[in-house]
Amino acid sequence: MGYSEIQFDKDSIFLVTGGAGFIGSNLIEVLLEKGYSVRCLDDLSNGHKSNIEPFLSNEKFEFIEGDITDFDICLSASKDVNYILHQAAWGSVPRSIEMPQYYEKVNVQGTINMMEAAVKNSVKKFVYASSSSVYGDEPTLPKREGKEGNVLSPYALTKKIDEEYARLYHSLYKLDTYGLRYFNVFGRRQDPNGAYAAVIPKFLNQLMNDEQPTINGDGKQSRDFTYIENVIEANLKACKAPSSVAGEAFNIAFGGREYLIDIYEHLTNALGKSIEPYFGPERAGDIKHSNADISKAKEMLGYSPDWSFEKGIEAAIDWYKENL
């Protein structure tokens, strides 16, 4: 269970792209704690230097401020690297609807650049962030790999294209690629600010400041909210996965289902607030329900998430209480 037992050769070098962001900075923290060398490539377009500040004094950590759409930077950042955990991308479904060309450039071209650089530098494993949004309008629950619908946003399309390229990079160029379809990740260091912030940190921040949060729609939408520890486990286990399951994409979630309105109530209770939410219009590109079948990741990666939503949300609330 978990990832505490997972080990790599002591001289291993990891490259985490998007390492100044939420998920990337959590991956870096754990890898450094385990004693490995870690390089972080991030252009700070959405991430924050403060997320990696504590690592800068660690001699095993190197920060490269650079853009994954620049192939030369991808090449130099992945030199001598054994494992790439590719997290850099532009997130947010609504923002992608406003600026599709930009998403194509960063999320697709940037990902191809990273895979090409990985091949040129003989990187052992290329683990990358995909998304539950690839299921699009497919209504079947739980979501199962192989049963995807039509995507509903440019963001989702970029992740779908990334998965296709990753499959090709495995079959054509023998790069061991593993796609992790994250389902609504939450936890420490997730950005609570900005119009495109994720709901849990955004609501926590607003409630702590006695502001009224907006729920898009009736609040009866459900998601498989996944605590960051489970995502770290999936990344490390994918680095250990055999070549026989490379080229594939896997659901990474806890396998539960929470309604937004219930989460809202949970947060207000935990913070001792009695603020009613404002119910706004539904958002374009959003799906109503999402819940993952995680049996493929369990079988092929040995993924065995041990952080339930309840356990994760308590840890997240504690962290935000101390750090906001």
Which residues are at the interface with ligand NAD (CB under 6 A)? Answer: 18, 20-24, 41-47, 67-69, 87-91, 106, 110, 129, 131, 182, 184-185, 191, 198
The least CB distance from residue 211 to ligand NAD, in Å, is 22
The least CB distance from residue 159 to ligand NAD, in Å, is 7
Complex with ligand NAD: residue 123 or 228, whichever CB lies closer = 228
Complex with ligand NAD: residue 127 or 241, whichever CB lies closer = 127
Q: Any catalytic annotation for residue 155? A: yes
The least CB distance from residue 210 to ligand NAD, in Å, is 26
The least CB distance from residue 65 to ligand NAD, in Å, is 9
Residue 126: name the closest of 78, 89, 93 by CA: 78
Q: What are the two backbone dihedrals, phi and then psi, of residue 308, each rounded to the nearest 5 degrees? A: -70, 170
Residue position matching structure tokens 């949004």: 133
Complex with ligand NAD: residue 47 or 277, whichever CB lies closer = 47
Complex with ligand NAD: residue 67 or 286, whichever CB lies closer = 67
The least CB distance from residue 44 to ligand NAD, in Å, is 5
Give just the sign of the alpha carbon dihedral 107, 113, 115, 121: negative
Complex with ligand NAD: residue 191 or 293, whichever CB lies closer = 191
Catalytic residue among 155, 178, 227, 303: 155
Q: Which residues are catalytic?
A: 155
